Structure formats: C-alpha cells, structure tokens
C-alpha cells in the first residue's frame, strides 16, 4: 500500500488541533495521518513548517459581466477564473467561491450556464458559485431557484443597495421564503440604499466628489440600520443569514443582539476592514479610489471592534471580497481622471493577500491561535457553504487540499510579487510574517518554489451540499 505523496515532519493544524504527524495522500485524498509514514512516490519534507487545510475564499468576484448600475459602475474586472485562481493559490487558497450574477430581465439559469462557460478551462483551484438574485420573478422563485439549489447551488446572495441589484424588503422576503423551502443559506449586502442616495446627492451638490466622499456617503449608521433590517427579515422568514463584509462595531452589535434572540446569523469580515481606514481614501488626486469598496474602510475604533468580534466568536468567516479593477481607464478611472466618487467602481483586490494578512496580524501578533485561523479562513466556510468535509479540513477521506506554510518567512507586500491582473494592491508596503510556500490541491502540487505547477482548467466545479447552518437551531452550533 503505497502513497502518491507523503508530507513528512510537519505540524498539522485543523480548526480543533495542532499535532505533529505525517500525511499520506492517495488518489487526491488524504489516506493516512500517522506518526510515521513510509515512503510514497514523492515525499515533501515539511520540517519546521505548518501544514494547513488549503484556504477557502468564499467571497470573491471574478469575470462578472459589465453593466451600469452595479458596484462596478460599468468597469471591467481585471481577473477571471484563470488569474484569480492562480493568485488565490499563491496566497494559500485552494477553493474559491465567486458570485454568479443574475441581471434584471434575464434568467438565473442562463446566468449560471454563462458563468460555467467563463470558468471552463481556466481555474487552477476547485470552485463553486454563489448565486446573486436581482430579479426575483415568479419563475425565478418558483422554478429556477429550486432547481438550481437542488443542482448544488445552496448559497444565495441579495443586495440592499446598488440601483441594478437592490431588492425591496418584500422581494428579500420572497427570496428568503424560497431559501427556507429549499434549505439554501442566504448572504446579504447590508447598506441602506435610500440613505446613501440622499447623502451622495448632498455631497455632490456641495462639490464634494473626491473618492473620500464615498466613505462620507456610507457612514456606519447606514450599515447598522440595514444589518438590523436584514436580520429582522431573516427572523420573519426563518432563514439563517450571513452578513457579508461587516465593517465595524455597530453592525456587529446588531448581529450579537439577533443571536441573543436565538437566530442563526453569521458574520464575515475582510482584510481591508482590519488594515485600512477612511484616511486611505483621502490620498491625493484619484489615488483614494484604490481603497474604495463598499462598505468603506472606517477608523481604528472600527478595526478594534472587528478584532474583538474575531476573538469572541461573533465573526466566524474571513474572506477577501476580491473585486478586481485596475487603476486605469477600463477600471477605476473609466469615468475619467476627475470623475465623481459615484462613478468609480467599488471594490479592491485581495485574493492573494487575505491569508498572509490574517496570519501575520492575527496569529503572529497573538490575537488568535492557529486553529481559529484555520476555522476563520477554511473550515467555517466549508461547513457554511456545504463543502465540508470534502474541503476545509485535514482528515482521512478529505480532499488533499493543503497549504504548507513557512511561519517565519518575512515578506513585504508589493504588487509585483502578486499574481492577480490588477495593477495595484491596497496593501502595498505592508510587512508580513508567515507565507504559504507549497500548495497542494487534490494531491497535486500546484505551487512550489514560487512557481505555478498546475495547468489552468484542472480546477473542478464543486456542487454544494446543504449548509451546516440548516442543521441546527442552536446558536453557534453550526461550526
Ligand atoms: Zn463582494
């Protein structure tokens, strides 16, 4: 009984344990975990290294079609499945879950077919799709969604803002109802559209159109109100709800309150809310556009509140919200070099820097331990989005998706070391300790010695099972 690959002498970390053991991999899956494993066809020496489950980035945007009225403001996404998944892999991630978007007046099923075509032959990592519902017609609610959920798309997202995406409270309840009947998990972008529009109109009238006005038009109260409304709608409909990209203490407080009432509400945050502030949008000329995302980065008090949420278990998932727009005329500057903040694409890149940032700022700085790091970046996403135990853990029978980390390696983040197609990183100059050096996906080494070893197209589409959030009504028992 021989193994295709043996990883020897490493420290294995899961969401619950840190142990020293060897791993034996056969046919793409973990076949043995033991004190010592005899030679396989190939042996990787992981002495002094951490062996972690490959990361899962369950919030990223890749190759979404261009259209006005969206977060993109008609700009072109710089990354598709090829460069996006390569960038993810170099940053320690082996599974990505981008969003398949329904545009109004079109069928959701057609959007899924189109997104499969966009992914075909491109990805180096495995992938699933969340579905964004922007037009919940009777046909979408009654036929398309139930069929798509049964085909393995068990996570759906709705927006409370953006002209072309926003749903009314009543429409959100309609989608939630279908989600309850079919046991899908709901994700929501929670910002109050009317308040943003009113504030943005006033700012423009006052001539305040620079990128920083983007933050002024979307204060934390806008997010707090929408978060409160979103969890209330979920309570009424009886569905588990994921609040994506929580940016500060006030919405987190609403989430804690909903949980205290007994509802399954899951909170996500992203690197930009821990590292950036509104001051990053105040850079001269249009440079502040490089830090424009929604919700916007806040202040140091918000950062502290988010770290508190990560430490006390209010925040359970950590994703990038990678939304790749270059700082050029196809991307951030599409509406011109002096455009109003309202015409600038919202979103920043982050697939490759997500894990190193949380490792360095969280684990190395002593804010979280290694199992919590794995839970936040892999295991909880796998459970929540119906990919566990195939993905997100190190266990016999699981896919051999692994990230072998050098916990001592020091790296200064600069855009030229990254593999995305975006021409900047908002984390330029950030000093990091700890970096994933060897990546394994289904037993195949895909990144080694800073080189890509995998062919685009090897990544497989994953059908999602029912979310763990549906398996219990107990608070936090889903993880
Ligand atoms: Zn997003």
pLDDT truncated to tens, each residue of the chain (479 aa)?
699 999 999 999 999 999 999 999 999 999 999 999 988 999 999 999 999 999 999 999 999 988 767 778 889 999 999 999 999 999 999 999 999 999 999 999 999 999 999 999 999 999 999 999 999 999 999 999 999 999 999 999 999 999 999 999 999 999 999 999 999 999 999 999 999 999 999 999 999 999 999 999 999 999 999 999 999 999 999 999 999 999 999 999 999 999 999 999 999 999 999 999 999 999 998 999 999 999 999 999 999 999 999 999 999 999 999 999 999 999 999 999 999 999 999 999 999 999 999 999 999 999 999 999 999 999 999 999 999 999 999 999 999 999 999 999 999 999 999 999 999 999 999 999 999 999 999 999 999 999 999 999 999 999 999 999 998 665 556 66
DSSP letters for 214-282: HHHTS-HHHHHHHHHHHHHHHHHHT--EEE-S--SHHHHHHHHHHHHTT--EEEEE-HHHHH--GGGGG
Q: How far apart are CA 453 and CA 435, in angstroms?
A: 18
Domain boundaries, the chain: 3-53+395-452, 64-371
Q: How many angstroms separate the alpha carbon of residue 455 from the centre of ligand 1?
A: 27
Looking at the DSSP bridge assignments, the partners of residue 370 are: none
Q: How many angstroms separate the alpha carbon of residue 122 from the centre of ligand 1?
A: 21
Q: How many angstroms separate the alpha carbon of residue 71 from the centre of ligand 1?
A: 9
Q: How many angstroms separate the alpha carbon of residue 188 from the centre of ligand 1?
A: 10
Q: How many angstroms separate the alpha carbon of residue 42 from the centre of ligand 1?
A: 39
Q: How many angstroms separate the alpha carbon of residue 465 from the centre of ligand 1?
A: 22
**pTM for this entry:** 0.97
Q: How many angstroms separate the alpha carbon of residue 64 from the centre of ligand 1?
A: 11
The CATH class given to the 3-53+395-452 domain equals mainly beta
The confidence score (pLDDT) of residue 477 equals 61
Query: How many other C-beta atoms are found inside a 10 Å radius of the C-beta of residue 444?
Result: 18
Q: What is the CATH number of domain 64-371?
A: 3.20.20.140
Tokens 């290294």: give the residue. 49
Between strands 42-45 and 444-448, the pairing is unpaired
Q: How many angstroms separate the alpha carbon of residue 460 from the centre of ligand 1?
A: 22
Q: Do domains 3-53+395-452 and 64-371 have the same CATH topology?
A: no
Q: How many angstroms separate the alpha carbon of residue 161 from the centre of ligand 1?
A: 12
Q: How far apart are CA 321 and CA 339, in angstroms?
A: 24
Q: Where are the beta strands (DSSP E) in 15-153?
A: 18-26, 29-34, 42-45, 50-53, 55-60, 93-101, 126-127, 130-132
Q: Where are the beta strands (DSSP E) in 49-161?
A: 50-53, 55-60, 93-101, 126-127, 130-132, 155-159
Q: How many angstroms separate the alpha carbon of residue 221 from the centre of ligand 1?
A: 19
Q: How far apart are CA 153 and CA 190, in angstroms?
A: 22
Angle of helix 220-237 versus helix 169-182 axis, rounded to 10: 50
Peptide bond into 295 cis (omega under 30): yes
Q: How many angstroms separate the alpha carbon of residue 10 from the centre of ligand 1?
A: 35
Q: How many angstroms separate the alpha carbon of residue 189 from the centre of ligand 1?
A: 8
Q: How far apart are CA 448 and CA 445, in angstroms?
A: 7
The confidence score (pLDDT) of residue 475 equals 54
Tokens (6 digits) for 199: 């504030």
């Amino acid at each position: 009984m021989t193994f295709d690959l043996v990883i020897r002498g490493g420290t294995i970390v899961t969401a619950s344990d840190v142990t020293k053991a060897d791993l034996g991999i056969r046919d793409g899956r973990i076949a043995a975990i033991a004190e010592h494993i005899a030679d396989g066809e190939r042996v990787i020496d992981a002495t002094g290294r951490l062996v972690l489950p490959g990361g899962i980035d369950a919030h990223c945007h890749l190759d979404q079609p261009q259209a006005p009225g969206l977060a993109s403001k008609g700009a072109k996404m710089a990354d598709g499945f090829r460069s996006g998944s390569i960038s993810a892999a170099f940053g320690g991630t082996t599974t990505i879950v981008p969003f398949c978007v329904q545009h109004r007046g079109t069928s959701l099923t057609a959007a899924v077919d189109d997104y499969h075509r966009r992914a075909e032959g491109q990805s180096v990592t495995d992938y699933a799709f969340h579905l964004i519902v922007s037009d919940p017609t009777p046909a979408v609610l009654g036929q398309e969604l139930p069929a798509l959920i049964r085909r393995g798309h068990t996570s759906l997202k709705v927006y409370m803002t953006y002209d072309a995406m926003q749903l009314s409270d009543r429409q959100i309840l309609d989608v939630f109802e279908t989600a309850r009947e079919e046991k899908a998990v709901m994700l929501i972008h929670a910002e109050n559209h009317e308040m943003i529009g009113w504030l943005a109109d006033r700012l423009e009238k006052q001539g305040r159109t620079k990128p920083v006005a983007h933050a002024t038009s979307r204060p934390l109260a806008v997010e707090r109100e929408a978060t409160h409304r979103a969890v209330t709608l979920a309570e009424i409909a009886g569905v588990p709800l994921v609040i994506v990209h929580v940016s500060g203490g006030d919405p987190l407080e609403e989430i804690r309150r909903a949980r205290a009432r007994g509802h399954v509400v899951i909170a996500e945050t992203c690197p930009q809310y821990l590292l950036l502030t509104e001051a990053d949008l105040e850079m001269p000329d249009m440079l502040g556009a490089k830090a424009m995302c929604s919700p916007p980065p806040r202040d140091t008090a918000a950062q502290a509140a988010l770290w508190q949420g990560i430490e006390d278990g209010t925040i359970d998932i950590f994703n990038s919200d990678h939304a790749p727009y270059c700082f050029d005329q196809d991307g951030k500057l599409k509406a011109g070099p002096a455009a109003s903040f309202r015409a600038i694409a919202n979103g920043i890149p982050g697939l490759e820097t997500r894990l190193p940032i949380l490792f360095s700022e969280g684990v190395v700085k002593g804010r979280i331990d290694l199992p919590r790091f794995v839970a936040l970046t892999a295991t909880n996403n796998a459970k929540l989005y119906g990919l566990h135990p195939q993905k997100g853990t190190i266990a016999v029978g699981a896919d051999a998706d692994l990230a072998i980390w050098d916990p001592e390696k020091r790296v200064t983040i600069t855009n030229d070391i990254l593999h995305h197609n975006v021409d900047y990183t908002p984390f330029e100059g950030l000093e990091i300790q700890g970096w994933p050096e060897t990546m394994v996906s289904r037993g195949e080494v895909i990144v080694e010695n800073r080189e890509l070893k995998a062919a685009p197209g090897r990544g497989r589409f994953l059908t999602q099972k029912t979310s763990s959030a549906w398996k219990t009504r107990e608070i936090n028992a889903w993880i």
